[in-house]
Amino acid sequence: MFGSEQSLVETSPLRRYITRIFGELHYGIRVRSWYIREALDGVTNPSYILDAGCGSGQTTFLIARMFPDAWIEGIDLNPRLVARCKEIVRQGELSKVRFVQGDLLDLRGEESYDLVVCQEVLEHIRDYQTVLANLCHVVASGGTLILHTPAEGPYQSESFGCRRFRRGLKNNTV
């Protein structure tokens, strides 16, 4: 069940029970997970995976279920969310999943990953070109980089997300 790991750190018994039974109730996260699952269908047997900008870890845990033999690292800037994810890993006894607090601007590529997933992150970073270059640098040769950002559409303003930065790009390329 998508997001059911979150029940391990819920403080309210009712929320813990509901999350354990139904998984993550946040509709937006569930929809985004569908796109990630669809994109991951074509990926075969990655050994090392990075969830860049992992937030509260729902995508990281989804990937862990899809690729149980892979080593997975989630990185996020928010120390509170990383601490929550570490507690889920500890309580869930997930030996191949780890979380670190860090800035994607400082990601230098000491490690390389067969699969890098960056979901709903770039639109929040002013210097997203550097982060994108860093993500490309840490993908192993022959590896896969999956990026997911909010799509243009009638429900978003022109000032939201990556569009606010595109004006400064030549031919909308990085």
The one-letter code for the residue type at 48 is Y
Q: For residue 103, what pLDDT is reported?
A: 93
Task: For the chain, count helices (H), then strands (E).
Answer: 6, 5
Predicted confidence at residue 30, as pLDDT, reads 63
Does any domain span residue 66? yes
**pLDDT value at residue 74:** 96
- Amino acid identity, position 132: L
**Domains of the chain: total:** 1
* Average pLDDT for runs of 10 along the chain of length 174: 61 71 64 78 91 90 91 95 90 90 86 91 84 92 87 51 43 40
- Whether 130 maps to a domain, the answer reads yes
Total Cβ atoms within 10 A of residue 66: 16
Query: Is 132 contained in some domain?
Result: yes
Is 24 contained in some domain? no
- Asked if residue 30 is part of any domain, the answer here is no
The reported pLDDT for the residue numbered 169 is: 41
Closest CA to 75 of 91, 93, 59: 59
With respect to residue 160, please indicate whether it lies within any of the assigned structural domains.
yes
Q: Model pTM?
A: 0.76
Q: Is residue 110 part of a domain?
A: yes
Residue 105 belongs to a domain with what CATH number? Answer: 3.40.50.150
Q: Find the domain containing 149 and state its range.
A: 46-172
